Chain A
Amino acid sequence: MRISRVLLCLFVVVLLGIVTAPIGLAAGEEEVEPEKPVLRFSHGYAGASAKAPVFEPALTEYITEVSDEVIIEPEYVSGTDRIEQVMIDVAAGDPPDVMLFWASEANIGDMAREGVLMDIDELIAESDVINRDDFTGWPTTNIDGTYYGIPYEAFSGFMLANRRLFDEHDLEIPETMEEFEEVSAVFRENDIIPFSMGSSAGDPGHLFFSQLVYQFENGFEDTEAMYDTRDFDYYANRRAAETVHEFIEMNAFPDDTVSVGGWDEQLAPFTEGRAAMIFTFPWITGTLVSDGDPEDYEVMRVPKHPDAVRDPGEYTVGGISQQVCVSREAWENESKREHILEFVEWLVADEMFAALAEDTGMEIPKDVDWDMEGLTDLEREIIEVTSEQELLPMHEEYFHEPAHFDYYKSAIDELYAGRDVDAFIADVDEFINE
């Protein structure tokens, strides 16, 4: 009986301990709370990113340098998984203070309208070193007339051919769909994938789809109008979807477009010499140079369709992939404001952009003097060719919500896997009008 009472008392004490522990901890936290403000910085330039060798050490050095005044906590997640991480933080009411984030309506529209992000012109107005006119690509950071990010990383699509494979099989690099079909047949007979293109979670299929759309009548105009009309069912989209089917029928794509979906998966057959052509973007050039044989590669024009009204060699798709965004709440916090301004000034400094361009081949949206000497001939050729092409934004820019864009990407996976054109068009059209 006495033992039972002792046990009972003991458990009541333990229970009270459990319940009151958080209060005690919270109280303790208050006591040891650091006086230095903490800035959370979300970015994707670490790990396997081609930018990591330049960006990470520089960031570490900066964090150490300012550690007496401010604690900067970098938060890195690779690829587009970071969008989900940031959006969960936002839903929890705790967005990162500063972030390198994807531009365009589909990615930042809601955050901009709901006051999560600050008007970046307010920050620029307080800076003595950031000059708005030094940057290009502002339209993609604009939501309802206000700019919510400083353009940071630009991108332009380009198509490469493995010249060695073409020479070995006595072939010319194709410029039209008819020529493309001929070379595809020869490569297939020799167990070579003619064109490394797939789609998993929409990559890289959706970008090539936009490239195809703009060669058909009113392709870009109708895509641009999609934001207002919410009409996905237009001539150029249908013709582009049919062109994807033409590629499938001529056996130009890999057998399994989901297996070869994703950036690394698409690149591997090309760098291994198992695929003759690829349509890709600057963020893979680091791997292209390190894993492949860049001296074998040559920039080529996207083949022109017989029904094209615009030469796809004269334009390319792209825009701003990353921009510097700042949380409004963090900016309004007096203890953080000065440090945010200094940090953003450091991020967009000429030296940082020059280093990223020179050492990683990153396409920069700032007018900065930088030395191309460190780049390979291939990287220089890519920059020269794409800089002469008209740069057109992709479909991504003209969706209203992340859900619409993600649904579209999922439907693109189906299209590359062989789904019927009518069903593809009808599905996306219906979803964006829900």
Chain B
Amino acid sequence: MRRLRRILAARRGLFGERRMVALAFLVPALFLYSVFFVAPIIASGGIGLTDWRGIRSPEFIGAENFVQLFLDSGYVTSVWNTVVLILYGLLIQIPIALFLAYLLWQISKGVRVYRAILFFPVVVAPVAIATMFSVFYHGEFGPINQFLSSVGLGAYRQRWLSDFDLVLHSVIIPEIWRFIGLHVVILLAGLQGIPDELVESAVVDGAGRLRIFLRIILPMLKHILLISMILMITGSFKSFEFPLILTDGGPGTASSFLALYMFRRAFVYQQYGYGSAITITILLYALVLTLVARKLLGGERASY
């Protein structure tokens, strides 16, 4: 008996056999994660405190880059544009994805086909999609403006990529469109996890479609929606290809998002210190918004 206790204690202790085995499994992953994720973030933070230009030796300048950021109109515009992108995601992308997922959940035939069609843009290279949209948006020969002219609405032709008030929305549309399918697949998986009995019993109790959706489906889907929202928010902070290919973030910074602005500052302007400071702010924004989303939607997991 005493021997058994000793064995169990050895297994449970700080350096118990089980913990050591678990640690052995974790160490390779932790090692790779530290080398390829944690260390670069720490290094970025360090470079962000210098004036490194890639060639000259870096000089420590404290928080000057971070102070300068908020006086930099290009940075402020890029932050605002990224906020607009997130709002598009919250108010248009995820609701559309939820609606489409709900429709797919309702139908019994062809779900896989529709799901594959909706998911298709996610697997297409963003360069191809951006090139396609650059043709659509072409001011002179693009099909959108050509169509407007052909139906007598020539007065509504737009300078899709050079009108300061319009260009941001022109760049956001392909970004939003591309990832709707991803959220449809995630939300559909969540919907398929809701037991039929719950919905059936609500129907028996006389609940209408809207009530079932609001009172049963949405609460049950809360955690899946949270995943979608976190993916959308973090994705928005990484948004890069569409503004780069369609407008290079311009004119000026009118359609630039944070990731592109960071790229331009670090690699085009060769201001690596300043670019690293932007990277750190991107990380902080993503972290804060993710925590806020978790706080708002996290809570108790719905149970049945």
Residues on A with beta carbons closer than 8 Å to the beta carbon of B159: 255-257, 417
B235 at interface by CB-CB < 8 Å: no
User: Do A259 and B56 touch (CB < 8 A)?
Assistant: no
User: Do A254 and B268 touch (CB < 8 A)?
Assistant: no
Residues on B with beta carbons closer than 8 Å to the beta carbon of A110: 53-56, 270
A368 at interface by CB-CB < 8 Å: no
User: Do B268 and A411 touch (CB < 8 A)?
Assistant: no
Residues on A with beta carbons closer than 8 Å to the beta carbon of B56: 110, 114
User: Do A259 and B134 touch (CB < 8 A)?
Assistant: yes
- The binding surface of chain A is classed by DSSP as helix
Q: From B149, which residue of chain A is reached at the shortest CB distance?
A: A191
The 8 A CB mask of B1-40 against A (1 = contact, 0 = none) is: 0000000000000000110110011011001000000000
- The binding surface of chain B is classed by DSSP as loop
Q: A257-B159, A419-B252 are in contact. List 19 more A-B contacts (CB 8 A).
A: A4-B21, A11-B21, A14-B28, A15-B24, A15-B27, A91-B272, A110-B54, A114-B55, A116-B55, A200-B248, A256-B159, A256-B162, A258-B167, A260-B140, A274-B141, A401-B270, A414-B164, A417-B164, A417-B251
User: Do A255 and B28 touch (CB < 8 A)?
Assistant: no
A interface, size bucket: 35 or more
A23 at interface by CB-CB < 8 Å: no
Q: From B247, which residue of chain A is reached at the shortest CB distance?
A: A258
The 8 A CB mask of A223-236 against B (1 = contact, 0 = none) is: 00000000000000
CB of A32, distance to nearest CB on chain B (Å): 26
A410 to B74, CA, bound (A): 11
The 8 A CB mask of A248-267 against B (1 = contact, 0 = none) is: 00000011111110000000
Residues on B with beta carbons closer than 8 Å to the beta carbon of A403: 269-271
Q: A116-B55, A255-B145 are in contact. Are A414 and B140 (CB under 8 A)?
A: no
Q: A8-B24, A258-B167 are in contact. Are A90 and B162 (CB under 8 A)?
A: no
A45 to B7, CA, bound (A): 71
Q: A406-B269, A417-B163 are in contact. Are A411 and B252 (CB under 8 A)?
A: yes
Q: From B256, which residue of chain A is reached at the shortest CB distance?
A: A410
Contacts from B to A (Cβ < 8 Å): 17-18, 20-21, 24-25, 27-28, 31, 53-56, 134, 137-142, 145, 157, 159-164, 167, 247-248, 250-254, 264, 267-272
A411 to B20, CA, bound (A): 60
Q: A403-B271, A414-B251, A417-B251 are in contact. Are A90 and B28 (CB under 8 A)?
A: no
Residues on A with beta carbons closer than 8 Å to the beta carbon of B167: 258
A413 at interface by CB-CB < 8 Å: yes
User: Do B139 and A256 touch (CB < 8 A)?
Assistant: yes
User: Do A8 and B55 touch (CB < 8 A)?
Assistant: no
CB of A180, distance to nearest CB on chain B (Å): 19
CB of A111, distance to nearest CB on chain B (Å): 6
**Neighbour of A201 across the interface among B53, B138, B248, B270, CB < 8 A:** B248
A402 to B267, CA, bound (A): 10
Can you list 5 A-B contacts (CB < 8 A)?
Answer: A14-B28, A91-B270, A259-B140, A269-B141, A414-B164
Contacts from A to B (Cβ < 8 Å): 1, 4-5, 7-8, 11-12, 14-15, 18-19, 84, 87-88, 90-91, 110-111, 114, 116, 193, 199-201, 254-260, 269, 274, 401-403, 406-407, 410-411, 413-414, 416-419
User: Do B21 and A8 touch (CB < 8 A)?
Assistant: yes
CB of A268, distance to nearest CB on chain B (Å): 9
A19 to B254, CA, bound (A): 47
User: Do A256 and B161 touch (CB < 8 A)?
Assistant: yes
User: Do A410 and B270 touch (CB < 8 A)?
Assistant: no
A-B CB proximity, top 7 nearest = A256-B139, A91-B54, A11-B24, A255-B139, A403-B269, A417-B162, A417-B251
User: Do A414 and B250 touch (CB < 8 A)?
Assistant: yes
A87 to B266, CA, bound (A): 10
A84 to B268, CA, bound (A): 6
User: Do B54 and A274 touch (CB < 8 A)?
Assistant: no
Residues on A with beta carbons closer than 8 Å to the beta carbon of B270: 87, 91, 110, 401-403
CB of A168, distance to nearest CB on chain B (Å): 19
A14 to B28, CA, bound (A): 9
A8 to B247, CA, bound (A): 55
CB of A421, distance to nearest CB on chain B (Å): 14
A269 to B139, CA, bound (A): 12
A401 to B252, CA, bound (A): 18
User: Do A259 and B139 touch (CB < 8 A)?
Assistant: yes
CB of A248, distance to nearest CB on chain B (Å): 10
Residues on B with beta carbons closer than 8 Å to the beta carbon of A84: 267-268
Residues on B with beta carbons closer than 8 Å to the beta carbon of A419: 164, 251-252
Residues on B with beta carbons closer than 8 Å to the beta carbon of A91: 54-55, 270, 272
User: Do A200 and B247 touch (CB < 8 A)?
Assistant: yes
User: Do A12 and B251 touch (CB < 8 A)?
Assistant: no
Q: A91-B55, A110-B53, A403-B270 are in contact. Are A259 and B137 (CB under 8 A)?
A: yes
User: Do B20 and A8 touch (CB < 8 A)?
Assistant: yes
Residues on A with beta carbons closer than 8 Å to the beta carbon of B17: 1, 4-5, 8
Residues on A with beta carbons closer than 8 Å to the beta carbon of B27: 11, 15
Q: From A201, which residue of chain B is reached at the shortest CB distance?
A: B248
CB of A78, distance to nearest CB on chain B (Å): 14
CB of B81, distance to nearest CB on chain A (Å): 15
Residues on A with beta carbons closer than 8 Å to the beta carbon of B268: 84, 402, 406
User: Do A7 and B162 touch (CB < 8 A)?
Assistant: no
Q: Give the one of B28, B31, B251 with max A CB within 10 A.
A: B251
CB of B72, distance to nearest CB on chain A (Å): 10
**Neighbour of B267 across the interface among A11, A88, A259, CB < 8 A:** A88
Residues on B with beta carbons closer than 8 Å to the beta carbon of A1: 17
Residues on A with beta carbons closer than 8 Å to the beta carbon of B253: 410
Q: From A5, which residue of chain B is reached at the shortest CB distance?
A: B17
